[in-house]
A and B are shown apart, each in its own frame.
Chain A
Amino acid sequence: MRLAKYLFKRLIIVFITLFILVSIVFLMFRVIPGDPVSMFIDSGLDAESQQLMMKLYGLDKPIPEQYIIYMKNLFRGDLGNSFTYGKSVVEVISERFLNTLVLTLTSLMIAFTLGIKTGSFLAWHRNSKIDLVGTILALIVRCAPVFWTGMILLSIFAFKLEWLPLGGMTSVGQNFTGFWDKILSLDFLKHLILPAITSALYSMATPTLLMRTSMLEVIKEDYIELAYAKGIPEKKVRRRHAMRTALLPVVTIFAVQAGLAIGGSVLVETVFRWPGMGREIVLAVSSRDYPMAQGAFLFIGFATIVFNLIADVLYAYLDPRVSLG
């Protein structure tokens, strides 16, 4: 019951945030330099035709009116048509978005599972050589650019050893009956491994180092001493008492990282020719496909908000001290 109330409150906040998000995205695209018309409307056309085109896209109306129209369409789930694809933006983006989501969630899952375990392991062996080496390694991996790690992995596993494909999401000539059929196929998984590992390596340092610091704090707590005094075996003390409590800040960072990863997937997607959102944004911006870019930004913003909501709920579940009122 309290959880339901808490959720309701969170959802209201989510809606307010969404409203602000769409308004900012709308305004941003009216303020930034560059003219959508110039790209789409041939300057060779006569003034009258140009006016006609402007009217067709509603660009002749004053900005407040454009805003109202934009909001209305948004509520109907209409983000306009892409200039380059000629298809509806929602249609193009949802497919790309799913591709990105699959890649991002896979890599984040790898990164956080390994990161949490490594971080707690390092903290448990604090001040030892393993701790030192591990921490330095985490920092190095964190500093290595994604395209560089990606290229190295590609050159070893795809080019030299030929174990894995060079890029793309599926092999040419494959036929799939649907989304699930595709992402559960062996062919897809083979394509997924390298990009997922590349971006997992990059994302892993944050949870590792955060978990390590958090564990170091928790280990000093009196309830850890009591757990030992209670005669609880060391493994259980570590898992049940130390890791469980140390996990809390890591959960918060998960939401932030997930949002960042979806927005920042452009490098991995470019290196591995992954047909996702990141690549689409770059394409849309460089080809001045305004509705497309606008839609892409909205999707990323939306995803970030949703992940934050998930983190909030998870946090409330994990930490009883968070008041659900």
Chain B
Amino acid sequence: MTLLDVQKLSIEYRLSDGKLRAVDQVSLKLESGDVLGLVGESGCGKSTLVKGIINLLPSNGRIIEGDIVFEDVVLNKLSKESMRKKRWKEISLITQSAMNSLNPVYRVGDQIAEVIIEHEKVGKRSAMEKAEELFDLVGLDRGRLQDYPHQFSGGMKQRAIIAMSLALNPKLIIADEPTTALDVIVQSQILERMNNLLKGYSGSMILVTHDVSVVAQTCTKVAVMYGGKIVEYGDVVQVLKKPNHPYTMGLKNAFPSLIGEKRELVSISGTPPDLSKEILGCRFAERCPFVIERCKGMSLEKTEVENGYFYCIRHAEKEELRKRADLPETWESEV
């Protein structure tokens, strides 16, 4: 069953000197039980996209076209009050800054209980019992529920937020870099637990990250974002094994693979494009080692593949590009 269907969504920020289109005509489909990895460099619109989905854009951000359909309900057309009721109950959000997301003047346990009481209209007691179970789940000591956030370490705060996100068994958890403050071992532990839990009631998750290895390990689907667009989308095995878009190929090279032999890590030189200016053609063209004249200036060409799609006009030569992308020299040469 389709849980979330984002249709040609565009989000703009109003700036003092013009506009910035952070998300440009993004389409995305998520089935129940899917775990979608949303990858890309910083500043390519990942966080804006997920905040748009839950309708929590900053005051200068606005959805200018497209729809977000969640279980046949168009979220961006909901009233404030109906949207509020859906938040956390059906879609919970773990923000990037989990470290500062806890209110310093309340006990951590009370902050978890707050959300349970608000949505389930239960008493404080049963809410606290639920909070205890959640703490067990993320590997925190139950006694720490009585502590204040400043008594927690960074990793503990992040676990507490993760515990909170699971409190109401939401159909969708949006996790915006949820494990950045955790070390690698704990990170995979927590993600695995979240995964198992979601599987238990076939909940879904959108995992925003720039770590391809995390995606490989956790996700079933992956969407690669670049410059406000999803440049490649598909099943995780498909996309990571046989990337079709040069940016995905580059991204893959920049991270160590968990399986397979050790290899040199290669980064993509240059920076993501400035989105406040209009860009013709492929947004990755400036940094792409395979760029040809046709890439710039032409409108984008979508290529559908099994369970996914990508945007690259050199799709016919993808086998060859893939081979060249595996060689570190390709990415070192000046483009």
Contact = CB atoms under 8 A, between A and B. Distances in A.
Interface of A: 221-223, 225-233, 236, 241, 244-245, 318-321
A229 B104 contact: no
Interface string B70-112: 0000000000000011111100110101001111110100000
Contact of A320 (B89, B92, B104, B115): B104
A228 B87 contact: yes
B68 interface: no
Contacts of A225: 56, 95, 101
B54 interface: yes
Contact of B118 (A223, A232, A319): A232
A240 B114 CA distance: 11
Contacts of A319: 104-105
A229 B105 CA distance: 19
Tell which of A228, A231, A232, A233 has the most Cβ of chain B within 10 Å.
A231
Given A222-B95, A225-B56, A226-B95, A231 B102 contact: no
Given A236-B118, A241-B103, A320-B107, 17 more contacts: A223-B101, A223-B104, A225-B95, A226-B161, A229-B88, A229-B95, A230-B88, A230-B115, A231-B87, A231-B89, A231-B118, A232-B115, A233-B84, A244-B105, A245-B105, A319-B104, A321-B148
B145 to A, nearest CB: 14
A321 B104 contact: yes
Given A225-B101, A244-B105, A231 B95 contact: no
A293 to B, nearest CB: 44
Tell which of A229, A245, A319, A320 has the most Cβ of chain B within 10 Å.
A229
B150 interface: yes
Contacts of B87: 228-231
Contact of B100 (A223, A231, A320, A321): A223
A245 B56 contact: no
Contacts of B104: 223, 245, 319-321
B119 interface: yes
Interface of B: 54, 56, 84-89, 92-93, 95, 97, 100-105, 107, 114-115, 118-119, 148, 150, 161, 164
Tell which of B95, B105, B118 has the most Cβ of chain A within 10 Å.
B105
A262 B85 CA distance: 49
Nearest to A229: B93
B160 to A, nearest CB: 11
A231 B119 contact: yes
A221 B100 CA distance: 8
Nearest to B115: A230
Nearest to B91: A229
| Interchain residue pairs A-B with the least CB separation, the first 10 | A231-B87, A222-B100, A226-B101, A320-B148, A223-B103, A229-B93, A222-B97, A230-B115, A231-B88, A222-B101
Nearest to A244: B105
B177 to A, nearest CB: 13
A318 B150 CA distance: 14
B53 to A, nearest CB: 11
Nearest to A318: B105
12 contacts: A222-B95, A223-B101, A223-B102, A226-B101, A228-B87, A229-B56, A229-B93, A230-B87, A230-B114, A231-B118, A320-B150, A321-B148
B36 to A, nearest CB: 19
Contacts of B161: 226
A236 B101 CA distance: 17
A244 B114 CA distance: 15
A223 B56 CA distance: 13
Contact of A229 (B92, B107, B150): B92
B105 A231 contact: no
A215 to B, nearest CB: 14
B164 to A, nearest CB: 8
Tell which of A226, A229, A230, A244 has the most Cβ of chain B within 10 Å.
A230
A228 B58 CA distance: 12
Nearest to B102: A223
Nearest to A236: B118
Nearest to A227: B103
A280 to B, nearest CB: 42
Contacts of B101: 222-223, 225-226
Tell which of A221, A225, A227 has the most Cβ of chain B within 10 Å.
A225
A28 B311 CA distance: 84
Contacts of A231: 84-89, 115, 118-119
B118 to A, nearest CB: 6
